[in-house]
């Protein structure tokens, strides 16, 4: 009889160890190593790779390229994030905070496909069929092509998929599914890895698109091994504040389309409704003539989005001034304040700084630097910037304004929403024709941008 072997696996990063440790060396988290039984395989039952492999290498010029067929839903925002629709045979992972609306989104997508006479199988491992029916009644789902299965055993799920032969499958969620051959508990690294591998085989072998829901950790990353995100074809994050009605579906990986695409939805009582013009939503509550408020045209994937950046600068009451940021990298605020102090002469070292991106959206591209810098200077001087200005540009450490990408699309979006002036890098002024109803001003430094927006006072 073979000796029973065990190992200790980190439930956060997948690090494996022969003995238990309080702190994981891989991710530095405490008390995340869990004991798991190592499956013993009989080597006589397996042949070598050379004996079983039948694939042959081909010249890349001899391989016939073909366009991936896609299934489109009634949600244009959802289709955009996926790169134009759902690819047959794809495995897509959707992660998000609890209660953010992942199940609601996928149930609505399933209902729309079922209304197009596409057979859909919705597998719920966290809710009973009756609970799923209650959500379906609230969303107005009444299609006979939508099937619901409350099951967590992967073998039974695979059998149901084989018998029903659906054209679209949803797994909610991967952390509840288990294989009997794996001795660890559902949601562990081994279970998630093995179940995802089997689902990938089903998706590719039967040409069925499968969407799986993944839980997230307290840091916001998808729970389980990092291998999970590498195995799937696309990774989508469903984000948003619980106290706001807006939800953002963001693509961070997509083998069949561009990454960093963003779709915006609004949570209503009857479900999620797509927002076709997010710039108007983010700017509808903007205060006119308020110091510390600026507007930036940020690119989210292939779409320009105009959002408001707010800053509040006040004298500090502590030994060390506070630097807080919401919606942007908090390290960017002290960097830009140092540039303003050194290159422009603003005395900010004894000031508390609070910077926020209004609307709950998160921005991470360099083109928002100029808007943040002008917002900070506007609040410090207690002097509002011109309300019809939009600012675009990256700020260097020497105070220069650097070139950004897709300037024409950004300016066109600003002109469409009624802005009269665009402050852009001077290096971006050549090679394109701006719209006739907006004035484009090129600047070379932060000092020039402040003079154009605040009048140099």
- The answer on pLDDT for 144 being more than 70 is yes
Is 366 annotated as belonging to a binding site?
Answer: no
- The answer on pLDDT for 276 being more than 90 is no
Is 240 annotated as belonging to a binding site?
Answer: no
Task: Give the tokens for residue 275.
Answer: 């927002």
pLDDT in tens, 28-57: 888 888 887 776 555 444 444 445 557 788
Task: Give the tokens for residue 432.
Answer: 């394109």
The structure tokens 């502590």 sit at 318
Percentage of the chain exceeding pLDDT 90: 54
Is 102 annotated as belonging to a binding site?
Answer: yes
Distance, CA of 433 to CA of 12 (rounded, Å): 51
- As a whole number, mean pLDDT of residues 200-222 equals 85
The phi and psi torsions of 217 (rounded to 5 degrees) equal -80, 180
Task: Give the tokens for residue 407.
Answer: 């300037």
Is 96 annotated as belonging to a binding site?
Answer: yes
pLDDT class for 173, splitting at 50, 70, 90?
A: confident
Is 97 annotated as belonging to a binding site?
Answer: yes
Is 384 annotated as belonging to a binding site?
Answer: no
Exposure pattern of 35-45 as b/e (b: 16+ CB <10 Å)? ebeeeeeeeee
Mean pLDDT of the chain: 87
Centre a 10 Å sphere on the Cβ of residue 267 and count the other Cβ atoms it contains: 18
Q: Which is higher by pLDDT, 64 or 383? A: 383
Task: Give the tokens for residue 348.
Answer: 């900010």
CATH class of 70-276: alpha beta
Is 99 annotated as belonging to a binding site?
Answer: yes
Distance, CA of 252 to CA of 161 (rounded, Å): 28
Is 101 annotated as belonging to a binding site?
Answer: yes
Asked if 266 and 273 touch (Cβ cutoff 8 Å), the reply is: yes
Domain spans in the chain, listed from the N-terminal domain onward:
5-42, 70-276, 281-454
Task: Give the tokens for residue 22.
Answer: 């309080």
Helix (H, G, I), strand (E, B) or coil at 142: coil
Cis peptide before 173 (omega within 30 of 0): yes
Domain 281-454 has CATH 3.30.230.10: yes
């Amino acid at each position: 009889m073979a000796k029973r072997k065990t190992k200790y696996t980190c439930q956060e990063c997948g690090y494996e160890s022969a003995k238990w440790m309080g702190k994981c060396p891989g991710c530095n988290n405490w008390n995340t190593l869990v004991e798991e039984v190592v499956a013993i395989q009989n080597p006589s039952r397996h042949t070598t790779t050379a004996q079983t492999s039948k694939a042959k290498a081909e010249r890349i010029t001899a391989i016939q390229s073909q366009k991936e067929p896609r299934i489109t839903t009634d949600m244009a925002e959802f289709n955009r994030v996926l790169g134009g629709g759902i690819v047959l045979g794809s495995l897509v992972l959707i992660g998000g905070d609890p209660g953010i609306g992942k199940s609601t989104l996928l149930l609505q997508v399933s209902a729309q496909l079922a209304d197009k006479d596409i057979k859909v199988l919705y597998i719920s491992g966290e809710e009973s069929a009756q609970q799923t029916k209650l959500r379906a009644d609230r969303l107005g789902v009444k299609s006979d092509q939508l099937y619901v299965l409350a099951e967590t055993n992967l073998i039974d799920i695979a059998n149901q998929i084989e018998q029903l032969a659906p054209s679209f499958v949803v797994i909610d969620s991967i952390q509840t599914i288990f294989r009997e051959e794996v001795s660890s508990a559902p949601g562990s690294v081994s279970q998630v890895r093995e179940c995802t591998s089997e689902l990938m085989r089903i998706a590719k072998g039967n040409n069925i698109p499968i969407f799986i829901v993944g839980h997230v950790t307290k840091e916001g990353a998808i729970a389980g091994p990092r291998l999970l995100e590498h195995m799937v074809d696309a990774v989508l994050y469903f984000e948003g504040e619980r106290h706001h009605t807006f939800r953002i579906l963001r693509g961070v990986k997509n083998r069949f389309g561009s990454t960093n695409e963003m779709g915006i939805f609004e949570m209503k009582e009857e479900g999620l409704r797509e927002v076709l013009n997010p710039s108007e939503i983010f700017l509808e509550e903007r205060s006119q003539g308020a110091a510390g408020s600026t507007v930036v045209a940020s690119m989210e994937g292939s779409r320009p989005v105009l959002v408001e950046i707010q800053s509040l600068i006040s004298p500090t009451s502590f030994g060390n001034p506070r630097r807080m940021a919401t919606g942007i990298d908090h390290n960017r605020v002290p960097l830009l304040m140092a540039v303003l102090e050194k290159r422009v002469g603003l005395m900010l070292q004894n000031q508390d700084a609070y910077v926020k991106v209004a609307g709950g959206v998160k921005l991470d591209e360099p083109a928002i630097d100029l808007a943040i810098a002008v917002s900070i200077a506007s609040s410090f001087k207690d002097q509002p910037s011109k309300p019809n200005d939009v600012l675009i540009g990256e700020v260097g450490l020497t105070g220069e304004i650097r070139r950004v990408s897709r300037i024409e699309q950004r300016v066109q979006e600003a002109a469409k929403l009624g802005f009269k002036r665009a402050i852009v890098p001077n290096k971006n002024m050549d090679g394109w024709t701006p719209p006739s109803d907006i004035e484009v001003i090129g600047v070379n430094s932060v000092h020039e941008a402040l003079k154009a927006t605040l009048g140099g006072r």
